[in-house]
Structure formats: C-alpha cells, structure tokens
Amino acid sequence: MVSELLKDVKIPRMFQVRQKFSAEKLEPEEIVRIIRYQLGQEPFSSQIQPGMRIAVTAGSRQIANIVLITRTIVDVVKKKGAHPFVLAAMGSHGGATGEGQRQVLENFGITEESMGCPIKSDMEVVKTGVNEEGMDVLLDKNAVEADGIIISCRIKPHTCFQGPYESGIMKMMTIGLGKQAGAAVCHEAGFKYMAKYVPMFGRAILKQVKILFAVAVLENAYDETAKVVVLNHDEIEEKEPFYLEEAKAMLPRIHVSECDVLICDTIGKNFSGSGMDPNITGTFVTPFASGGLKSQRVAVLDLSKESHHSGVGIGMAHATTRRFFEKMDFELTYPNLITSTVIENARIPLVMKNDREAVQVCIKTCTDIDRNNIRIVRISNSLKVEHICLSEAYYEEAKSNPNLEIESDPAPMAFDENGNLIDLGNIQ
C-alpha cells in the first residue's frame, strides 16, 4: 500500500559539487612537535613529577588525529617518569557501561596496545563536593584518585545549546568526567540551563580535583586539526570562550541556505554527539540553539558502525530505512538520551523499506513547494561536507556561487534492485 502511494513520486536529477572552505591545517608531525614543545614549557612541565599517576581523558567523538594526540600526551607523561592511563570521559555514551565506553575508544583505535598504557572505563563516581548552588559534583573515581588529570578534548560549538562554553574543556570536565551519574545532575534542569551549569560545575571541579592543564584542538571545515592549544588549569575559565569563537568561525556550512529535502546518508555518534551536527544541518531538537541549513523534510538512510548501535539523532529525521531501524539498539541508545533529557533525539520517524522510498516520502509530504524544481541537498554525513550533491534546481545558482565548484553533470540517483543507493556514503 505504501509503495503504491509513492511509486509515481519523481526524484530529481542530482549533481555533485565541492564546497570551498579555509583549508588551514596541521600535519601530523607538527601536531606532535607542538604538543611536545608546549608540555615541555612552564607551567606545564613541572606539574608532571616522577611516580605520579596521571589520567588523560579521551571522549566519544571521532576527533581528527585523536590516536596520535592522545598517544603523544601519554608519551610525554611517561618520559617525565610518571604513570599515565587513558580515561574514558564520555558521560553516558557507550550505553553508559564501562565495556561500552571501552568499545567506543577501541573503534577510534585507542587501545591499551596503541596507547602503551592502561585504559580505565569504569562508571563508578565519587562526590567531590558541591557547586555554587549546592548541587553534587560527581566525578569518575579513577580520575579523583589520580595524582593529576590532563583534559584532552576538542573545542567546538554544541548541538543543543549556545553560550561562552559549549563542547570543550569545561564540558569535558563536567559531563565527560562526570560519567553517567555526574552528567545526569548537570542535565537535570534541561538544556535551557546548560550554558549556566557547564561552567558552574567546571569551576567547582577546578577547585575540588587536581586538573593539571588541558590540551585542546580546533578543527577546520574539513574535519582536520587546525590548531592545538594548551591551557593551564588557572587559564581555562578565562580563555576557553575565545577559542570557542575561533572554532565557530572555522565551522563548515552548506553553501545554500534552504532546501525542500535534506538527505543524510549516515548518522552516528562518531560524526556528532547528536548523531548529525545541527549546526550544519539545521536539525536542532531544542530551542536553545539555532542556525544551519533550513529544510522542510529530512531523510536519514543508515547508521554508522562506529556509533555502536546508538541511534541517537534519528529523532531529527522525518523518514529512515528498515536497514537503519534494524541496526539501532534501544538499550545502547536510550541511556544517553535519558541522561541528557533530550528524548526527542530518538523519536522514531517513518520507517521505509529502502532508500528510494525514504527519499520519496519526504518529497511527497513537502508542502508549498515547486514540484517541478524540487530542491534536494544530499550529504554523506554532517562531519564531512566538502563534497555534497544538489538537485538540478540548484544548477544555475551553483554555477555563479564562488564557494561551489561543480564536479558532475546532473544525473538520476542510482538505486540497486532493492531500491537502495549504490553510492551510499561515497559522495566524494
């Protein structure tokens, strides 16, 4: 019956474009050199003493060069005669289990073998005190028992709220080190208050446990390491907002402002904490952040392997596929949403039998559009948007847009005999 309703919905021809952004980046050898040099300077060097047990955080995001960055920090700590361990600092991700969080790190290539040190992913927390409003500060037991903590993270705009501190050092301390229990305390009032509570908890943590310093990266629009900054514990509160603004300026975007249908081939926690980054796609599920592409309908076609069956982000879509639904594990999806309180991000959209029908149902249910010139934007994922596909309605606009380079002629979308895209996830 559903297939019959959709069989005559025409999908427009698509063409590929390359989006142009600033390409400033650091090569791997430069990243190693910067980290080694910075950590060899004061006040950082003297804080790592022989025999100390040092925790080095690792989160749940697929950060460029994350294995190299983490291993370089670990090596510096070892060279100073201290004993490092990598700490899974990711709130409730990985199904809110120690084994799940260890698996997230393994998916990124962070293992005890690749790091040359132990990995701690236990979920046990201890109370270290309270914040300015008397709320409990709960932190990872392994971190609290360490002689020092090095925060390794990425500074980037958040997907659900906006403020002077978003995804970055303060949030890694508050949510990452808080594990599920600590993250739940901070999230309890909802994202309306996250811009207030992230730094409030962060200030308390800086006073209550031995945060040594932070090694933070900023990425360019191509998901490449553009900058590495090292901030001492007494610099974090003052200087992180400056670097957040710098990160926002480097954020990629879709170089058309509106579309009728957005197609995202694949979502997953490795692309964004929200499955796909609404700063790019415009698919915000809270009213406390805005921006990105404006669309009427969104089709999400697949779930990444690296997401470890977490379907967080599917709530942003209007239609998905049976393939996606069968990969999604509710037990591995819901803990993160319950902890963050944003349960809207796992609402189940229309589940269609294949990619073609997911796209068709989005087109058919659009209203007040020019059906002879359907505007479709297609991306592989929200992390890599250098190469995207646009429907033929954008062709003339693309020819005159200096930020777009046309890479192919308009052609029909290619589906296999099962109605699934032949080039799924391979826009390049």
Q: What average pLDDT does the chain have?
A: 94
Higher local confidence (pLDDT), 159 or 171: 171
Q: What pTM value is reported for the model? A: 0.80
Residue 428 has pLDDT above 70, yes or no: no
Strand ranges, E, within 121-189: 125-130, 136-140, 148-154
Question: Whole-angstrom Cα distance, residue 363 to residue 371?
Answer: 9
pLDDT of 291-319, one tens digit each?
A: 899 999 999 999 998 888 999 999 999 99
pLDDT at residue 406 tops 70:
yes
For residue 278, the surrounding DSSP H or E stretch is helix 278-281
Give the H or E element holding residue 53: strand 53-58
- How far apart CA 363 and CA 11 sit, in angstroms, is 8
* Spatial strand order in the sheet of 83-88: 119-120, 83-88, 53-58, 148-154, 211-219, 225-232
Q: Which residues pair with 388 in a beta bridge?
A: 17
Predicted confidence at residue 69, as pLDDT, reads: 98
User: Higher confidence at residue 161 or residue 126?
Assistant: 126
Kind and range of the H or E run holding 374: none
Q: What is the pLDDT of residue 262?
A: 98
Q: What is the pLDDT of residues 236-247, one digit of tens each?
A: 999 999 999 999
pLDDT for 178-215, tens place per residue?
A: 999 988 888 887 888 899 999 999 999 999 999 999 99
What are the tokens at 177?
């080190």
Q: Residue range 417-421: average pLDDT?
A: 95
The CA–CA distances, whole Å, from 248 to 63, 191, 201, 285 equal: 16, 20, 23, 20
pLDDT tens, position by position, 264-281: 999 998 888 888 999 899
Q: What is the mean pLDDT of residues 167-172?
A: 96
* 48 has pLDDT over 70: yes
Q: What is the pLDDT of residue 365?
A: 98
